[in-house]
Every structure is written in structure tokens, then in C-alpha cells.
Amino acid sequence: MARTHVTTVVNGDETEFLTEDSTSLLNALRDEVGLTGAKEGCGTGDCGACSVMVDDKVTCACLVFAPEVDGSTILTVEGLADSGELHPLQQCFLEGAALQCGICTPGFLISAKALLDRNPDPTETEIRYALAGNLCRCTGYDKIIRAVQEAAREMRGQ
Amino acid sequence: MKYVAPSSVEEATSLLSTSPSAQVFAGATDVVPQLRAGRPAPEVLVDLKKIEELVSVANDGDKWTVGAATPTANLTEDEAFSEEFPGLAEAAGLIGSDQIQNRSSLGGNLCNGSPAADSVPAMVVNGARAVVAGPNGTRVLDVAEVVTGPGQLALEADEFIVEFEIDRIPARTGDAYLRMIPRTEMDIAVVGAGARVTLAEDGSIEQAALALAAVAPTCVRVPDAEAALVGKTANDEILSAVAAAASEACDPIDDKRGTVAYRRQVAGVLAKRAVLIAIERAEQRNGTN
């Protein structure tokens, strides 16, 4: 079958790739674009390990068909750092040991960024709800919540 | 599997009429897990999200029109809509995580045909109508008529829902939706209860609607509970009758989420609580909107 040509902006760079129509955005990012930060946990939208932002909305890349994003802007975990400097969320996850095996971390970082973009000063409950679509089997979540709180404080300049 | 994204309703209906194995989708939050679980793939996947009227929330003064593929996040973030229909907004907002909310839609939630769909009882009690497009134009169905059994729809293969119409809420009217799940997020309803109440000027109940999810092959209305409420002021005795009627209306299954007996009992409890919230909201909305 003819492959479909998709033009997107990924992490600020215009990016083109060819894909089968049935391929997920997740697999296109990993296999065609070479960005392996987003991970496949479940493949059914339950675990959030593949979370990316499509046109500023956090979503599970495993539930998106790759041709859908033609003309869209995508942010993956690889686009969080700025000129080699880690994003405050990344720095706080590192310093707060908010990860162990790391498989879920790219998804948590993107979901947390989506939250802080719309709510710079979330309560713990708001953070827990915003991250409910991201599963972590290692940390028990508390360190992740604290890292997001710390990053939010830093980003507010406090 | 070929992906197509028509930009008009006419283009979409013509695609569906000419492709025997075509399937429409909006957020694909149910379609992708079903394909991965082994459901046969359609030859053509028709993405409805690029059709403008399918992704919009509008109020023309008499009614709200919600595009069938509108992400539920857009609905819950619409303050005017959420203020008018807090029950429906809460029900739509309960579907999955933020990641899912940015993709899931009322049209998808309904047409997936799950008995546990959260938004369906909330649409039903608000009298929502589905505008259905097909090769011969459009027809209008009550949302309550769309699903005929688990995964079974009253739509033809070449039809799809364009939008939902919901009349503006009358004065002294409130809606509510409650669901029971074993955790607070990311699960499927064990029982869901949607209620809507309109009060008369003297504070008695003029109209009542109650619908349940996850306790029968489809969403069910509970006419006996509605009849018990109309003309009365809610008290313990009437609310007990509401709960009993709700339990009686159930035809549930036993599964890992709950037994038949548990679902029946919880349906009664949630029905009562949802009615009380709807009454409270109706009392607060004493003037016209």
C-alpha cells in the first residue's frame, strides 16, 4: 500500500515522514522520526507512557493514527530541554529521585508540563488528577507529585 | 487500512456509501483498543474531526449544539455549558484521563454502545437529540433511541452522528450525574445515575428524569421513580421509592466490577443521591437563565 506523507512540526523542527495509515503516532515518532522518548506501555491509552502534546493538548500517542497529525505541532519529551538546559520539571524529577526504572517518566513530564501550562500553581489534588492517566509501578507517586510541586514553585519564580 | 479525513458531512456520507467496510471515528479511544484486541480492521477509517461542525460547541439562544466529535475537554472547559448542564459536564469529564479527555467525544461515547457510557444517562435525562447524517440527508433521533444493545446501534452502516441538540435548560431545573467505581479515576462505571428535576413555583417537583448506566444492556430510564417524584416534595419516603424503583429497573450482569445484588443496591443509592443534587441545583436556579 502506498505510504502517506505527513508534514508536522516536532519539538520546533519541521519534520516530514512517510507512514502506513494504520501506524500509530507513537510508532511513527519512534521508528520514522527517531524519537524514542515516548514509550509504549499498554498501547490502549491506559498507562500514559506515550504521552505527547499534539497542538498543545496532551494525548496518548498510541491512540492517534499517524496521518492525523499532518499539519499539527507535536511536543515530545525530547523537546522539553532548551539548548541543552533541562526543563525545571526534568531537573526536579532528577533531584527529587522521582523516577526509578524511567519507562513512565517521559509521559509524566509531558503530562506535568500540560498541567503547569494551564495551571501554574496546582494543588496536590489537582496534580494527582492531572497525572491520573500516567501509571508508575516503581515510585509510589509521592516523589513525582513533590517534584511537580517543586518545579511549579521554581517556574513561578518562588 | 486506509485513513481518510473528509472536510464536510457530504464528503463523509459519500465515502461511507461507497466503501462497504468503512468505519467512522473521532478520538479512537475505543477504536484503537478494540483493534488491538483483535476486532477486524475496517478497510477505510473515516476521521470525523476535520469536519468543522463536528467539533464545535454552540448556543443559538434556544438550544445548545455539540458536535459529535468534539473532545469532551472542550465541553467541560466551556464555562457557560458547564454552568447550565453541570451533570452532563461532570459525566463527560469522568471519561478517562486528561489524555483521553482531549480525544474522547459524546458521539464516540454513545456509538461505542457500551452500557457503562458515562455521558449517555446525562444526555438522556436532558432530552438530548442526535442529528444523524446519511446518504439521504439527516434525521433526528432521541439519544435514548440510538443504542439498542451492547455495541448495537439504530444507525445504518452509512450513517453517523453529526451533532447533539440539547434544549436550553428551563428555569428551576438542575441535572446531576454520579457514578460508582472502585477508584476515583480511570475506571468504568459499576453503576451510573443521571437525574434531572424541574421544580414548580411552589417548590414541588414538576418534572423528573432518571436514567441509569452499567446496570442493563443499554442505558435505562426509570419511569416508576420519575412518577414517584412528580407533584411531590422530596422526603425520605419518596426517595426510598425512587431507590426501590431504580433497583427494580436494573437488569445487571455479574462481573469483576460488581455482582448483580451489589449493582442493584448501588443503583438505588446513586439514584437517590443524584436526584437530591439535581433538586439542590434546581433550587439554586430559581430565575430564568
Phi/psi of residue B34, nearest 5 degrees: -65, -40
Give the mean pLDDT of chain A: 97
Q: What residues does A122 pair with on adjacent strands?
A: none
Q: How far is B95 from chain A (nearest CA, A)?
A: 11
Note which residues in 180-219 of chain B have CB less than 8 A from chain A.
Answer: 184-186
- Of A52, A51, A33, which Cα lies nearest the Cα of A42? A51
What is the distance between the alpha carbons of residues A22 and A65, in angstroms, rounded to a whole number? 6
Q: For B148-172, write each residue's pLDDT tens digit.
A: 999 999 999 999 999 999 999 999 9
Q: Which of B5, B33, B45 sits opposite A45 (nearest CB)?
A: B33
CATH class of B50-167: alpha beta
**pLDDT higher than 80, residue B287:** no
Domain residue spans of chain B: 50-167, 173-284
Q: Are strands A4-10 and B160-167 parallel, antiparallel or unpaired?
A: unpaired
Does the CA dihedral A42-B147-B181-B85 come out positive or negative? Answer: positive
Q: How far is A2 from chain B (nearest CA, A)?
A: 10
Q: A57 and B27: CB-CB below 8 Å?
A: no
Q: A63 and B102: CB-CB below 8 Å?
A: no
Q: What is the pLDDT, as a whole number, of residue B289? A: 47
**Among A18, A53, A55, A63, the residue to mutate for chain B (most B Cβ within 10 A):** A63
Cell numbers representing residue B105 in the block: 467525544
**pLDDT higher than 90, residue B234:** yes
pLDDT top residue among A2 and B261: B261
Q: What is the pLDDT, as a whole number, of residue B222? A: 98
Q: Which CATH superfamily does the domain covering B173-284 fall into? A: CO dehydrogenase flavoprotein, C-terminal domain (3.30.390.50)
Q: How far is B184 from chain A (nearest CA, A)?
A: 9
Q: For B239-269, write each residue's pLDDT tens digit.
A: 999 999 999 999 999 998 899 999 999 999 9
Q: What is the pTM of this model?
A: 0.96
Domain residue spans of chain A: 4-79, 88-155
What is the third-level CATH fold of A88-155? DNA polymerase; domain 1 (1.10.150)
Give the mean pLDDT of chain B: 96
* B236 and A CB contact within 8 Å: no
Q: What is the pLDDT, as a whole number, of residue A1? A: 62
For every residue of chain B, DSSP letters joined together read -EEE--SSHHHHHHHHHH-TTEEEESS-TTHHHHHHTTPPPPSEEEEGGGSGGGS-EEE-SSEEEEETT-BHHHHHT-HHHHHH-HHHHHHHHTSS-HHHHTT-BHHHHHHTT-TT-THHHHHHHTT-EEEEEETTEEEEEEHHHHEEETTEESS-TT-EEEEEEEEPPPTTEEEEEEEE-SSSSS---SEEEEEEEEE-TTSSEEEEEEEEESSSSS-EE-HHHHHHHTTS---HHHHHHHHHHHHHH-----BTTB-HHHHHHHHHHHHHHHHHHHHHHHHH--S--
Do the two domains B50-167 and B173-284 of this chain adopt the same fold? Answer: no
pLDDT band for position B214 (cuts 50, 70, 90): very high
Pick the CATH number of A4-79 from 3.10.20.30, 3.10.580.10, 3.20.20.140, 2.60.40.10: 3.10.20.30
Side chain identity, residue B60: D
